[in-house]
Amino acid sequence: MHAADGFVAINDINPQAPVHVLVLPERHVDTFRDVSQFDEAEAKRMLAFVAETAEKAGLTDYRVVVNVGPGGGQTVFHLHWHILGGRRLEERLL
Protein backbone atom coordinates (compact mmCIF):
# COMPACT_ATOMS: atom_id res chain seq x y z
CA MET A 1 0.00 0.00 0.00
CA HIS A 2 2.60 2.57 1.09
CA ALA A 3 5.72 3.15 3.19
CA ALA A 4 7.39 6.02 4.97
CA ASP A 5 10.23 6.59 7.41
CA GLY A 6 10.73 3.04 8.69
CA PHE A 7 7.16 1.79 8.44
CA VAL A 8 5.14 -0.01 5.79
CA ALA A 9 1.40 -0.54 5.27
CA ILE A 10 0.00 -3.53 3.39
CA ASN A 11 -3.43 -5.02 2.80
CA ASP A 12 -4.21 -8.02 5.01
CA ILE A 13 -4.34 -11.28 3.03
CA ASN A 14 -7.24 -12.51 5.20
CA PRO A 15 -9.34 -9.36 5.69
CA GLN A 16 -11.76 -9.23 8.59
CA ALA A 17 -13.43 -6.01 7.37
CA PRO A 18 -14.00 -4.33 3.99
CA VAL A 19 -10.81 -2.35 4.67
CA HIS A 20 -8.13 -4.26 6.61
CA VAL A 21 -4.63 -2.82 6.47
CA LEU A 22 -1.56 -3.86 8.47
CA VAL A 23 1.07 -1.35 9.58
CA LEU A 24 4.48 -2.80 10.37
CA PRO A 25 7.74 -1.24 11.47
CA GLU A 26 10.59 -2.22 9.16
CA ARG A 27 12.73 -2.85 12.26
CA HIS A 28 11.92 -6.18 13.90
CA VAL A 29 10.16 -6.09 17.25
CA ASP A 30 8.40 -9.32 18.30
CA THR A 31 5.31 -7.93 19.98
CA PHE A 32 3.66 -4.86 21.45
CA ARG A 33 5.12 -5.90 24.83
CA ASP A 34 8.46 -4.77 23.38
CA VAL A 35 7.25 -1.37 22.15
CA SER A 36 9.68 0.31 24.56
CA GLN A 37 12.43 -0.64 22.09
CA PHE A 38 11.23 2.35 20.06
CA ASP A 39 12.40 5.71 21.30
CA GLU A 40 9.77 8.40 21.85
CA ALA A 41 10.24 10.02 18.43
CA GLU A 42 10.02 6.69 16.58
CA ALA A 43 6.92 5.62 18.54
CA LYS A 44 5.28 8.96 17.71
CA ARG A 45 6.12 8.52 14.01
CA MET A 46 4.66 5.00 14.11
CA LEU A 47 1.35 6.17 15.55
CA ALA A 48 1.22 9.07 13.09
CA PHE A 49 1.83 6.58 10.27
CA VAL A 50 -1.07 4.43 11.52
CA ALA A 51 -3.38 7.48 11.40
CA GLU A 52 -2.03 8.57 7.99
CA THR A 53 -2.56 5.05 6.62
CA ALA A 54 -6.21 5.05 7.74
CA GLU A 55 -6.72 8.43 6.09
CA LYS A 56 -5.07 7.26 2.84
CA ALA A 57 -7.39 4.23 2.90
CA GLY A 58 -10.34 6.65 2.91
CA LEU A 59 -11.38 5.88 6.49
CA THR A 60 -12.79 8.40 8.94
CA ASP A 61 -14.22 5.82 11.36
CA TYR A 62 -12.16 2.72 12.07
CA ARG A 63 -10.60 0.45 14.69
CA VAL A 64 -6.90 -0.01 15.43
CA VAL A 65 -6.06 -3.40 16.95
CA VAL A 66 -2.83 -4.96 18.20
CA ASN A 67 -2.88 -8.65 19.13
CA VAL A 68 -0.37 -9.42 21.89
CA GLY A 69 0.85 -12.98 22.44
CA PRO A 70 -0.73 -16.26 21.39
CA GLY A 71 -3.53 -15.91 23.94
CA GLY A 72 -4.35 -12.50 22.48
CA GLY A 73 -4.57 -13.84 18.94
CA GLN A 74 -1.06 -12.93 17.75
CA THR A 75 0.07 -15.40 15.07
CA VAL A 76 2.81 -13.33 13.40
CA PHE A 77 5.57 -12.39 15.81
CA HIS A 78 6.54 -9.08 14.29
CA LEU A 79 4.76 -6.08 15.80
CA HIS A 80 1.94 -4.90 13.58
CA TRP A 81 -1.20 -2.79 13.87
CA HIS A 82 -4.50 -3.80 12.25
CA ILE A 83 -6.58 -0.95 10.82
CA LEU A 84 -10.14 -2.15 10.22
CA GLY A 85 -12.94 -0.14 8.69
CA GLY A 86 -15.54 0.12 6.01
CA ARG A 87 -18.55 -0.94 8.05
CA ARG A 88 -20.05 -0.18 11.42
CA LEU A 89 -18.82 -2.42 14.23
CA GLU A 90 -22.40 -3.42 15.11
CA GLU A 91 -22.86 -4.90 11.60
CA ARG A 92 -20.22 -7.55 12.36
CA LEU A 93 -21.78 -8.42 15.72
CA LEU A 94 -25.30 -8.99 14.38
- In whole angstroms, what is the distance from residue 45 CA to residue 49 CA? 6
Q: Please, are residues 9 and 53 in contact by the beta-carbon 8 Å criterion?
A: yes
* Per annotation, catalytic residue among 20, 78, 80, 82: 80
- In whole angstroms, what is the distance from residue 91 CA to residue 63 CA? 14
Catalytic-residue membership of 80: yes
Q: Looking at the annotation, which residues are catalytic?
A: 80
